[in-house]
Amino acid sequence: MHKIFRALYPARNPEELFREYNVPRTLNLQIRLTQDGWFVATVPELPGLITQAQSQHELLDMVNDAVLTYFDIPKRQADIIYNQLNIPGIPTIQYEAQLRTA
Concatenated DSSP letters of 23-47: --SS---EEEE-TTS-EEEE-TTST
CATH class of 2-96: alpha beta
- The domains of the chain are located at 2-96
- Asked whether 45 and 23 are in contact (CB, 8 A), the reply is no
In 10 A of CB 51, how many CB atoms?
21
pTM score of the predicted model: 0.86
pLDDT of residue 101: 42
For 39-67, what is each residue's pLDDT tens digit? 999 999 999 999 999 998 899 999 999 99
Q: d(Cα 30, Cα 34) in Å, to the nearest integer?
A: 13
| pLDDT surpasses 60 at 70 | yes
For 10-34, what is each residue's pLDDT tens digit? 899 999 999 999 999 999 999 999 9
